[in-house]
Amino acid sequence: MKKLRVFISGQKYFGQEVFRLCNRLDFVEIVGVCAPVDDKYVTKLASTFNVPIIAAGTLRADTLPDNVDIGITAHSFDYIGRKTRYKANIGWLGYHPSLLPRHRGRSAIEWAIRMRDAITGGTVFWLNDGIDRGDIAYQDFCFIDPVLYGKEPRKAARKLWEDELQDMGLRLLEQALRDVHAGIIIKRPQAKQFSTFEPNTDVKDLYKPDLLMLERNTSLSK
């Protein structure tokens, strides 16, 4: 059986670990990466293995290598446009650290803690035109230690990511790659009636309770 040709768009430690995961799977061939030129994780690792590098911000359909089977986003801030997604033979996978469709948006873990969710998790999903709206491939869950509610939300989110959600993402992505290589494609639409979208916590004066259920309120008004 031929190898699965994978392209990775990502950065930082998680991007590096996704690269390591793909590199150790004997049925995967990494055909390129998109990462910041000064990234000391993905860019450095790709250079070590002589994998072609595309600078972050320049990924488009015409810069994506030909005959890519699967694209993966791993802590990527590059928007993967429709033409770029469609160029991949099978599609693009992303990992979001929440139980989608709950907590769409960049600060998902922090919002789970701010809202005192008892359970959270991770989702590997198929990218589409929306933000964290694509069909679900795989999910897993974990409990949130109540001790985290008493910590500064950003520090608590980092601990939950490092202790639970990061490794969960790698496990789910490995499962996805193994299944796709075996011809198993799982796509389950998100249950829109349960969706939430919260703002990026880097934004000043962000805490506005009317924004916490933004998606549901918007859908009801249309």
pLDDT of residue 77: 82
CB 96 within 8 A of CB 132: yes
Residue with tokens 């490794």: 167
Over residues 45-53, mean pLDDT: 97
Lowest mean pLDDT among 3-17, 67-81, 152-166, 202-216: 202-216
Q: Taking the model in full, what pTM does it have?
A: 0.90
pLDDT at 142 exceeding the cut of 50: yes
Strands, sheet with 53-55, edge to edge from the N-terminal-most edge strand: 53-55, 28-35, 4-10, 70-74, 91-96, 119-126, 136-143
SS3 114: helix
Q: Give the relative orientation of helices 12-24 and 166-181 as an angle to the nearest 10 degrees.
A: 30
pLDDT of residue 203: 58
The rounded distance, in Å, linking the Cα atoms of 6 and 126 is 14
The rounded distance, in Å, linking the Cα atoms of 124 and 103 is 14
